[in-house]
Amino acid sequence: MIVTIDGPAGAGKSSVAKMLAKRLGFRFLDTGAMYRAIAWAVRRDRLPTDDVERLEGVARGLQIQVGDGRVLLNGEDITNKIRNSEITALVKPIADHPGIRRHLIDLQRRIADGISVVTEGRDQGTIAFPHADCKIFLTASPDERARRRHADLLGKGEEIDLREVLQQQTERDERDSAREFGRLEPAVDAVSICTDGLSIEQVVNRLERLVRERMA
Ligand code: DC
């Protein structure tokens, strides 16, 4: 069974998807981490992000493993190095690249082949898994999303202004929504849920009920 959770940054997808997967006994697939892993390699090797053909070749040559909350790149654990503002900024041109998107979607499908997964991203219900059994689109108001992201970054020791987080978020939303291939939009058959004012637990309870109904 495939459960897809898509939506904008800060809607609470990661925490919700992780907890839901655990409750259901499904594998959790963090597809944002895959784009971030490529961005990390690009930064490490100081590759120019405008050299589109080279980037795709580099991305295809990398071994990316995600699972159990860890992210490995060619065997190296980079989990704690990819969730910061620098990588978030660098990931944009990478996520816009159709060739890289196709490559990662192939990888996502191979991972999900024959098993039950909760997969989280922007295009999981629309492009990666159009025949998924249960599709969810999580949203929250821009202010609430920025507040959550800000608290998250402060918790990691990053000094950043709330206004800056909101501005980065607006830019990212615009870019995610304007992308030609893999645009952020709900699948026509997705259930949309606004998480404003709801705890993670409350959202997960609701999603678990939804998935179990579909399973039955
Ligand atoms: O969810 P996140 O913040 O870790 O995602 C990192 C970036 O990757 C973000 O710019 C959106 C992009 N992304 C994407 O385009 N498609 C996905 N399936 C997942 C993430």
Q: Atom 18 (ligand 1): residue with closest C-alpha?
A: 121
- Mean pLDDT, the chain, rounded, equals 93
- Best mutation site among 35, 153, 181, 183 for ligand 1 pocket (most ligand atoms within 8 Å of CB): 35
Return d(Cα 5, Cα 15) in angstroms, integer.
11
Q: Which two tokens stand for residue 209?
A: 């009920």
35 lines ligand 1 (CB under 6 A): yes
Q: Which amino acid is at 160?
A: I
68: pLDDT strictly greater than 80:
no
pLDDT tens readout for residues 42-66 = 999 999 888 878 899 999 999 999 9
Confidence of residue 9 (pLDDT cuts 50, 70, 90): confident
Contacts of 87 (CB under 8 A, 6+ apart): 36, 39, 40, 43, 81
DSSP conformation class of 131: T
Question: What's the gap in Å between 205 CA and the centre of ligand 1?
Answer: 25
* 3-state DSSP helix/strand/coil % of the chain, to nearest 5: 55, 15, 30
Q: Which atom of ligand 1 is nearest to the CA of 35?
A: 8
Global confidence as pTM: 0.92
95 lines ligand 1 (CB under 6 A): yes
Mean pLDDT of 105-114: 97
Mean pLDDT of 31-40: 97
Question: What's the gap in Å between 216 CA and the centre of ligand 1?
Answer: 31
Q: Atom 20 (ligand 1): residue with closest C-alpha?
A: 32
36 lines ligand 1 (CB under 6 A): yes
Which of 2-6, 11-15, 88-92, 181-185 is most confident? Answer: 2-6
Q: How far is the first Cα of the chain from the last one, in angstroms, to the nearest whole number?
A: 12
Contacts of 181 (CB under 8 A, 6+ apart): 98, 101, 127
Q: What is the pLDDT of residue 175?
A: 83
Question: What's the gap in Å between 140 CA and the centre of ligand 1?
Answer: 17
Return d(Cα 6, Cα 3) in angstroms, integer.
10
Mean pLDDT of 185-208: 95
Return d(Cα 190, Cα 135) in angstroms, integer.
5
